[in-house]
Amino acid sequence: MISRLDDQKGFDILIQGMDELMKMGVQLVCWTGDPKYHEQLEKWGRSILSRRRYTDVQQWMAHRIEAGADMFLMPSRYDRAG
């Protein structure tokens, strides 16, 4: 999941299922967004790479992560129309 840490993007849903995801051995890479999600995700330690800024290097890395991922999460509370 490469997304802004925000309610709209479904991170509240993700947090609820994190214990089960961690049992599967997943690793997550997270970037900027609501500090409450950074704090909540940090409790899962080394399985989470969390950065508070999104730089050009991270955009390049995001494309590599998408290409090499075995699974891609894309929850969303709503999408903008049109």
Find out whether 52 and 45 touch, Cβ atoms under 8 Å.
no
CA distances from 52 to 7, 35, 36, 39, 67 (A): 16, 8, 12, 11, 22
Side-chain half-sphere exposure of 63, counting CA atoms within 13 A: 5
**Domain spans in the chain, listed from the N-terminal domain onward:** 1-10+25-70
- pTM strictly above 0.95: no
List pLDDT tens digits, range 22-43. 888 877 777 678 888 888 887 8
For the chain, residues with pLDDT lower than 70 are 31, 46-58, 78-82
